[in-house]
């Protein structure tokens, strides 16, 4: 994303940007041009988006025509045409860069520069640097622990209902019937013999 705009009466805004640039980087200029640069955020992790804001101000008492801004590779989109600025007029450009992988240095300085066209009678040059650092590495989160599946207690085998005990049958049913018949016949025989004896005694 690139945003650029012109500030016609930007003295107060330029002063504010200069104060920010002093705390984040460095700037140098002659009496004809001033330049400031800021970065937001000032620190990040590799892959984070950093926004740079570059301001060029004509501090001379006559118009100045500038060449394009010279920008570092991280903020190459800020290398845009500035054109002609009137006295106390400012040009502001914003661009984004992706923070590269971390190296040995925890901070790095990115420098922007500007100069006017060679055809001008007055030659002017300015530059500004912005410092971008790295945040501590994010702690690696431990892998999620999967809880062991809850084992259900083994199902008990179904128990068949107990039957009431049955008395054992001794002997065969046919044998029992014959025994009863035999006992009845014997009883009839005894009764018959007793009756026969009584008849004989009566005679």
Query: pLDDT (tens digit, 0 to 9) for every residue of the chain, 203 residues total?
Result: 667 666 665 443 433 333 333 334 566 667 899 999 999 999 999 999 999 999 999 999 999 999 999 999 999 999 999 999 999 999 999 999 999 998 888 899 999 999 999 888 778 999 999 999 999 987 777 666 766 666 666 666 666 666 655 555 555 544 444 444 455 555 555 555 655 566 655 55
The answer to pTM > 0.75 is no
Measured distance CA(114)–CA(76) in Å, rounded: 14
Taking Cα atoms as reference points, which of 54, 61, 121 lies closest to residue 90? 54
CB 65 within 8 A of CB 84: yes
Describe the chain by its helix, strand, coil percentages, rounded to 5: 25, 35, 40
- The DSSP string of 23-81 is HHEEEEE-SSEEEEEEEESSEE-TT-EEEEEEEEEE-SSS-EEEPPPB--GGGGGG---
Other beta carbons within 10 angstroms of residue 62's beta carbon come to 11
Measured distance CA(10)–CA(81) in Å, rounded: 19
Residue 175 has a pLDDT of 45
């Amino acid at each position: 994303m690139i945003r650029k705009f012109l500030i016609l009466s930007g003295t107060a805004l330029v002063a504010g940007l200069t104060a920010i640039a002093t705390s984040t980087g460095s700037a140098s200029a002659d009496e004809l041009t001033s330049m400031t640069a800021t970065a937001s955020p000032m620190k990040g992790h590799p892959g984070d988006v950093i926004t740079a804001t570059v301001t060029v101000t004509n501090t001379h008492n006559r118009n100045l025509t500038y060449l394009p801004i010279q920008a570092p590779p991280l903020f190459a989109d800020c290398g845009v045409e500035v054109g002609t600025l009137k006295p106390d007029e400012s040009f502001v450009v914003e661009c984004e860069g992706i923070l590269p992988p971390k190296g040995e240095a925890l901070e790095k300085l990115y420098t922007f520069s500007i100069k006017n066209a060679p055809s001008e009678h007055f030659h002017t040059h300015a530059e500004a640097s912005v410092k971008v650092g790295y945040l501590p590495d994010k702690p690696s989160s431990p892998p999620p622990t999967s809880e062991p599946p809850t084992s259900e207690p083994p199902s008990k085998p179904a128990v068949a209902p107990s039957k009431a005990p049955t008395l054992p049958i001794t002997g065969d049913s046919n044998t029992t019937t014959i025994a009863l018949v035999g006992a009845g016949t014997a009883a009839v025989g005894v009764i018959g013999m007793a009756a026969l004896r009584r008849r004989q005694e009566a005679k």
